[in-house]
Amino acid sequence: MCQNISRSCKNLFFKVALVIVVSPIVYVYFEPTVNWLKSLNYPSVPKHDVCGDICINALKTPNQIQIAASSQGGDLDTILLIWMWPFGQQFDLGLCSSMYDIHGCHLTVDKSQFNKAHGILFHHRDINGDLSNMPKLPRPPFQKWVWMNMESPSNSRQRSNLNNLFNLTMTYRQDSDIMVPYGRISENTGGKKHDEIPHKNKLVCWIVSNWNSDFKRSKYYEELKEHISIETYGNHSNGRISNQDYSDVVSSCKFYLSFENSIHKDYITEKLYKPLSLGTVPVVLGPPRKNYEEFIPGSAFIHVDDFNSSKELAEHLKLLDQNDDLYRQFFTWKEHFVASASIFGPDQACHACDHIRRNKNYRVVNDLNSWYWG
């Protein structure tokens, strides 16, 4: 083709040479641009639209029951006796099949069923210090006692007389026999188009029911409010807030401070899941970001640890307030997932029963004390 150094051949040669010479320049030219973008330091701008692998696995198996499912699928008539209503709050005992698709479970509070019950549910906070309200009859050999506690170790009284008493632990922790998170992200299988972002007329909100100036969250709040205005509700000075008001307030804020009262691995409560389900971007204070990402997409929230100071966080929130495109990126996960807060009581009871129905193995929780508080 290029036997003679014809005009067109020279042209081709020059074009190729030009590309070869120019590409590093283009590369060098664009690279600083990328760095410059990076140096802008948008730590919480979504890195991935959907849930990461760990997150998806965790979410598709909301408790460990499914993983451990025995092949025969379990007995059809498993009785779980709820020994005490958790925090004295009664709930509908007939929700397992309709709400959780758990069949073959019979929940009861009738203590005369003691000898027949496959499992007995005990709520930590309601167990008397001297165990005087625990069953006195000998335990049938097949029966499993479930220790339920959704409070963090900081918020629960340590008890050494509970060792060698239970067969199963049920908490929010991943290392429990039965893990029941405070909420979950599930795949949006309904084919329903995801909700629009609700109308916003407030920037940052916080509803606090348990003010304690020693909590890390209170200290952070005191700092943050020096740099950005925060609407607060529910502090004892302003009175408590109803459920309806809660939803209205939370959904009308661009950001909600999902600040946990104590910092523990996996202790990620409804303070996160409710705002997520109400169309608000949670700003979380709790365990490290990595831990959150085991439960929810990394692009759905802002972590206070993403910033060097509360001032930087405030500046970032103000920037997102001015930039609708950046703000909307926090909602792209909703194209594939929906968030829901779990319902305290039925969620635990149904999953405990299902676990017992499917798992016949022998198990004793020897040292509950050091496992939970150690």
Smallest gap from residue 237 Cβ to ligand NAG (A): 5
Interaction with ligand NAG in 126-145: which residues (CB under 6 A)?
142, 144
CB-nearer residue toward ligand NAG: 88 or 239: 239
Residue 11 in the binding site for ligand NAG (CB under 6 A): no
Interaction with ligand NAG in 238-277: which residues (CB under 6 A)?
none
Give the binding range for ligand NAG (CB under 6 A) out of 105-113, 231-239, 280-288, 313-321. Answer: 231-239
Smallest gap from residue 328 Cβ to ligand NAG (A): 24
Interaction with ligand NAG in 38-77: which residues (CB under 6 A)?
41
CA atoms of 100 and 77, how far apart (whole Å): 17
Query: Residue 262 forms beta bridges with which residues?
Result: none
Q: Is the dihedral of CA 206, 211, 213, 214 positive or negative?
A: negative
Q: Binding-site residue total for ligand NAG (CB under 6 A)?
A: 15
CB-nearer residue toward ligand NAG: 58 or 65: 65
Active-site residue identified among 151, 223, 270, 312: 151
Residue 74 burial class via C-beta count within 10 angstroms: exposed 0-12, middle 13-18, buried 19 and up:
buried
CA atoms of 244 and 55, how far apart (whole Å): 30
Smallest gap from residue 307 Cβ to ligand NAG (A): 8
Interaction with ligand NAG in 154-183: which residues (CB under 6 A)?
164, 167
Smallest gap from residue 112 Cβ to ligand NAG (A): 21
Do residues 336 and 50 touch, judged by C-beta distance below 8 A?
A: yes
CB-nearer residue toward ligand NAG: 179 or 208: 208
- Of 113, 232, 252, 262, which lies in the binding site for ligand NAG, with binding defined by CB under 6 A? 232
- Of 108, 155, 188, 235, which lies in the binding site for ligand NAG, with binding defined by CB under 6 A? 235
Catalytic annotation present for 315: no
Residue 33 in the binding site for ligand NAG (CB under 6 A): no
**What residue type is 98 in one-letter code?**
S
- Of 211, 220, 344, 371, which lies in the binding site for ligand NAG, with binding defined by CB under 6 A? 211
Residue 364 in the binding site for ligand NAG (CB under 6 A): yes
Q: Which residues bind ligand NAG (CB under 6 A)?
A: 41, 142, 144, 164, 167, 208, 211, 221, 232, 235, 237, 308, 362-364
Catalytic residue set: 151
